[in-house]
Structure 1
Amino acid sequence: MNQDYYKNYYHLERNHWWFVVRLEILKQELQKLILSNNQKLKILNIGIATGKTSEMLSQFGEVTSVEYDAICAEFVRQKLNIEVIEGSILELPFEENSFDWVCAFDVVEHVKDDKRAISEMNRVCKENGKICITVPAFQSLWSHHDEVNQHFKRYKMNEVLNLFDLQSENIDNNSSFKILRKTYFNSFLFIPIWLFRKLNFLIPKQFIRKGSGSDFEIYKSNHFLDSILKGVFRIEKKILQKNISFSFGVSLLFFVEKKKYRD
C-alpha cells in the first residue's frame, strides 16, 4: 500500500460501500463460528490496514493486530490507541498454537509466497482453531486497481484449496483442515465491475483516476451511487446468511478448522 493510499484508507474503510458491506458479511459469517457466548477467543488479525477489521473482531475476543507497513501501523496506534505489532504474514512473531482464530482479510494476495503465508497462519493457529481468509477473485478482473494495491494475483477457488493442500472441494479425512465455509461474494456486481475494469484499459488513467488510482477513489464522493451499491451488496449478505454459496464473484471467502493432529 503506497503512502497516498493508506492515508485515505481510514475514511474508505469506514464509509465506502464495498468496505462497509464486506465488514458486515465478515461479521455475519464469523458469528457462525461461535460455539458459546462464554468463549474467550484469542484472535490474530494479520494485515489490519487502518484497523476497522480489528475493531470488528474485538467483539469476539482479544485481538492481536499485525501490520507490515510501519507507517500505517503507527498511524493506527495514534488514531485508534490500540497496540499494533509490526510483522509479516511470511514470518509471524508468535509461538506455535497461539490463537483460536487466525484471520487475514485481503492480505494473502499481497505476498508472492502465498503458500508460506498459509503455512505460517497454520503454525500459529491452535488445534481445532479457525483460519479465516478473504482474497480477490478471478485474474480476468486484474486491473490498475490491483497494481496500485500491490497484488501479486487474484484467485479461483481451486487455487485457494491448493494453498491448504486440499486437492478437491470434498473434505478429506486425511487433510489437516476441515472446510467450514467457502464462497465467492460480491457476485451480483461481478459483470458491471468486469466491464468497468476492461473499459479502464482503453481510457487513459489520468482522465478517470485521481489520488492513488484505486477503484475506491472513483466512487468515494458519489453518495447516491454508493447507496445503490450498498443496497445491492446487502442483498447478497442476506443470501449468504442462509449458508448459500456463490459460484463466482469479485472476492472469495474461505474459512477452515485446523484438525487435531493424529498419529
Structure 2
Amino acid sequence: METILYDQFYRIEEEHWWFVARREIILDQLRRYAPFPTANDILDVGCGTGIMLQCLQGFGRVQGFDFSPEALAYCRRRVGGSVPLTLGTLGEKPPFPPRTFDVITLLDVIEHIEDDQAAVRGARDLLRPGGVVICTVPAHPFLWSGHDVLNQHKRRYTARELRRTIAGAGLRIEKFSYFNTLLAPAVFAARLATPRRRRLEPRSDFKVYPRWLNILLTRIFLLEKPLLRLANAPFGVSLLCVARRVDA
C-alpha cells in the first residue's frame, strides 16, 4: 500500500463512515463466532494504523502483525506499548509458534498478497483447533478502479474465488456474505458511469464528508449489522468470511 495512505487512514478512520460501520459489523460477527469466553489470544494481521487493535483489546490478548514498518509506527502512536507489534508476513515463516491464537483477523489484507491462499494457510497454521479467521476483501472485479491501484491490490474477489481460497487453505466456512450492500447500488452506478481512463487513475475513494452526510452514511451502513446476524446478503461492495479450524 502506498505510504501516503497510512497517514490518511490514521487521520480519518476513527470517524469516517466506512471504517466506523465496517468495524461494528466485524466486531458483531466476532462476538457470534469466536470461541469466547475461552478465546484469549488474538492476532490482527495487516494491522495497518492500529484502529482495530484498539477495538480488539476488549476481547483478549491482542497482537499486531504487519509487513510495513510505517504501519507499525502508526500503530505505536495509537496504542503505545499496550499491544505487542511484530514485523513480517504470513508468506514467510511467521515469527509465532503454530497453534498460538484463537482468533486471527485478515481485514482487507489478502487482496494485497500474490499467493493469497498460502497466506490464509499460514493463518490457519497459527490457529488453535476451534479458532476462527475473520476475513474481509473487496468484491467484484468489475468495480476495479484507481482506488485499487493506489492501494496496490492484486485483485477484487468474486464469491467463488474467496470461497475457494479459504476452503482450499483447510478452513471450514461458517459465515459467508457480501456486505456494504445498501449503499452498493450507488457505488456500482458511480463506478460504471465514470469513463474507464478516469476510473483507473490512482486515487483514494476515502473522502472527508460533511458531518451530517457522514452520520447518514454510517447509519445506513450500520442497518446491515442486525441483518447479517439473520442472513447472508446476495450482493455488496465487500465480502466477509468467518472460517474455523476444525482439526484436532
> Is 1:231 the counterpart of 2:219 in the alignment?
yes
Give, in angstroms, the shift of residue 158 of structure 1. 1.3
Deviations 1:120-164 (A, max 9, x none): 111111111111111111111111111111111111221111113
Alpha carbons of structure 1 residues 113 and 56: separation in structure 2 relative to 1, 3 Å: same
Secondary structure of the equivalent of 1:184? strand
Identity %: 30
What is the distance in 1 between the residues matched to 2:34 and 2:91? Answer: 28
Secondary structure of the equivalent of 2:244? strand
What is the distance in 1 between the residues matched to 2:167 and 2:172? Answer: 11
Unaligned runs of 5+ in 1: 167-174
What is the distance in 1 between the residues matched to 2:152 and 2:14? Answer: 21
Task: Say if 1:126 and 1:258, in contact at 8 Å, map to a contact too.
Answer: yes
Task: Say if 1:188 and 1:233, in contact at 8 Å, map to a contact too.
Answer: yes
Alpha carbons of structure 1 residues 67 and 199: separation in structure 2 relative to 1, 3 Å: same
Task: Say if 1:186 and 1:250, in contact at 8 Å, map to a contact too.
Answer: yes
What is the distance in 1 between the residues matched to 2:147 and 2:99? Answer: 36
Unaligned runs of 5+ in 2: none
> Is 1:184 the counterpart of 2:178 in the alignment?
yes
Secondary structure of the equivalent of 2:33? coil
Deviations 1:9-56 (A, max 9, x none): 11222111000000000111111125554x241111100111111111
Secondary structure of the equivalent of 2:91? coil
124, 143, 146: which is aligned to 1:144? 146
Give, in angstroms, the shift of residue 202 of structure 1. 5.4
What is the distance in 1 between the residues matched to 2:77 and 2:54? Answer: 15
Alpha carbons of structure 1 residues 191 and 75: separation in structure 2 relative to 1, 3 Å: same
How high is the TM-score relative to the length of structure 2?
0.91
> Is 1:13 the counterpart of 2:13 in the alignment?
yes
Task: Say if 2:34 and 2:131, in contact at 8 Å, map to a contact too.
Answer: no
Secondary structure of the equivalent of 2:125? helix
Task: Say if 1:40 and 1:62, in contact at 8 Å, map to a contact too.
Answer: no
Which consecutive aligned stretches of 4+ in structure 1 deviate over 4 angstroms post-superposition? 202-205
Alpha carbons of structure 1 residues 229 and 59: separation in structure 2 relative to 1, 3 Å: same
Aligned pair count?
244
> Is 1:259 the counterpart of 2:246 in the alignment?
yes
What is the distance in 2 between the residues matched to 1:76 and 1:132? Answer: 20
Tell me the equivalent position of 1:172: none
* Largest Rg, 1 or 2: 1
Structure 2 residue identity aligned to 1:41: N
> Is 1:81 the counterpart of 2:86 in the alignment?
no
What is the distance in 2 between the residues matched to 1:79 and 1:256? Answer: 29
How high is the TM-score relative to the length of structure 1?
0.86
Alignment of 1:196-211 (within 5 A): 196-201=190-195, 204=198
Tell me the equivalent position of 1:215: 205
Task: Say if 1:13 and 1:50, in contact at 8 Å, map to a contact too.
Answer: no
What is the distance in 2 between the residues matched to 1:187 and 1:58? Answer: 28
Alpha carbons of structure 1 residues 231 and 203: separation in structure 2 relative to 1, 3 Å: farther
Give, in angstroms, the shift of residue 87 of structure 1. 1.1
> Is 1:245 the counterpart of 2:235 in the alignment?
no
Deviations 1:57-79 (A, max 9, x none): 11111011011111121222133
Alpha carbons of structure 1 residues 75 and 126: separation in structure 2 relative to 1, 3 Å: same
